[in-house]
Structure formats: structure tokens, C-alpha cells
Amino acid sequence: MTEPATPIYKRILLKLSGEALMGDDAFGINQATIERMVGEVADVVAKGVEVAVVIGGGNIFRGVAGGSAGMDRATADYMGMLATVMNALALADAMNKQGLTARVMSAIGIEQVVEPYVRPKALQYLEEGKVVVFAAGTGNPFFTTDTAAALRGAEIGAELVLKATKVDGVYTADPMKDPTATRYTHLTFDEAMTQNLGIMDATAFALCRDQKLPIKVFSIVKPGALGRVVCGADEGTLVHA
């Protein structure tokens, strides 16, 4: 199938897990992996799409997770937020090296390192063609980066939240265990909730549903998938109102 050349989305929010940056490594950041992902983002930006990113911190926090056993939940969550800041800096650095202009905005104050999240400033950056990387989740413990993606997507007026995974969509069963599993091309929010498909955590999912903000689940490891998604090709699974 020939990839459509014209994007159907003007502004998107890409939700990247920290684990997506690991490649085949046990934890940390795989440089080849992050460079490949940034290349796909650059291709989308070149099409005129405004891109914001929310990134997780599981790849870095995984390296210290053993030491967090028994730790106060709020303290552990703040450590995870700091891990997302580290990932955001690495992602922005890779973007800048590939010719993009990236700005990191943090939900917690670390002004010597990154600028604080201010909605009007984020909108200005997007309108200028810069990629905005949102770090530190929502800035609050007990809320996931999925919730941060839903929140920031709604705040910036994104037309679509893209949940990047290692699987190319939502399936009727685990495709790694059941070869007969088939991919949903689209689902309504109510259908996904009824079938308990676990696309995002409940808070994030409810926010997207209430704001009528569609979610596209797709594979970030599949070459060219991001570009096909923004051009409306049959890629991944669309969850909509």
C-alpha cells in the first residue's frame, strides 16, 4: 500500500514509554533506537505536523527499582518523574542533532536544567514548528505518564494521542500467545472499556473519552508506522468516541 503523502492531522501528542528507548538493552537508552525514532518524528514534522511528546521513565527507573522496594509511593513516583526528565533531555538532544528544534518543558521545577511547563509557551513553540517534549508527568505522584499524555493532549488541542508500543495495535488476544488473534482497526471508547482491553490506565482513558480525544495505538518499532498513522493509513488501532 502506498503511503498517503498528505497528513490528516495538524497537531499530535506522541506518548513514548521509557522502555521504547531501550532497544534490546536491559535498561537505559539505546542510541541507535532513539536516533531511529527521532528520524521518524523528523519525517512527520517535515510534513507540517506539529508534534508534542510525553515520555515515560521506566527504562531508567528500572535500573534502580530494586532499591525502591518498600519505599514510600510518593517518593518513588517523584524518582520516576526525574527519570522522565533524563529521557526528555536525551530525546531533545537527539532531535536537535537531527535538525529539529526541541524544547523540554517539565511539570516540576528544575529551571537550571529545563524550563517549566507553561501552556501558552508550549502552544507558541508548536506553532513555530518546534517539537515540545513534556517531562515529569503531571507533576503529581499517583498519576501515570499515560494520564499526563491525555492531560497535555487536551490542553494543547491535539487532534490525536498516539500511544507508541511494541505491538502494532490492539488485538482480540495476545498475538504473542495466540496466532489466531486479530487486530482491531478501530474501537469506540465504550467497546474498549466493556472488553477491558487495558489500552491506558483508567484515569487517562476516561479523560480522553470525556474530551473526545481519539487514541491511536501503534508500533513504534515498525519502520514508517508513525508517518503512516498521521497520513491516515490502516496502521494500528484507533479508539474514538
Q: Are 37 and 47 in contact (CB under 8 A)?
A: no
The answer to the question of whether 224 is labelled as a binding residue is no
The answer to the question of whether 126 is labelled as a binding residue is no
The answer to the question of whether 138 is labelled as a binding residue is yes
The answer to the question of whether 141 is labelled as a binding residue is yes
The answer to the question of whether 171 is labelled as a binding residue is yes
The answer to the question of whether 24 is labelled as a binding residue is no
The answer to the question of whether 56 is labelled as a binding residue is no
The answer to the question of whether 198 is labelled as a binding residue is no
The answer to the question of whether 172 is labelled as a binding residue is no
The answer to the question of whether 146 is labelled as a binding residue is no
Question: From CA 50, how far away is CA 42, in angstroms rounded?
Answer: 11
The answer to the question of whether 175 is labelled as a binding residue is no
Provide the grid cell at 107: 511539570
Q: Are 125 and 118 in contact (CB under 8 A)?
A: no
The answer to the question of whether 145 is labelled as a binding residue is yes
The answer to the question of whether 15 is labelled as a binding residue is yes
What contacts 125, CB < 8 A, 6 or more positions away? 103, 132
The answer to the question of whether 62 is labelled as a binding residue is yes
Instruction: For CA atoms 113, 200, 152, 159, give the dihedral sign.
Output: positive
> Binding site for ATP: residue ranges?
15-18, 58, 62, 165, 171, 174
> Binding site for UMP: residue ranges?
57, 77, 138-145
> Binding site: residue ranges?
15-18, 57-58, 62, 77, 138-145, 165, 171, 174
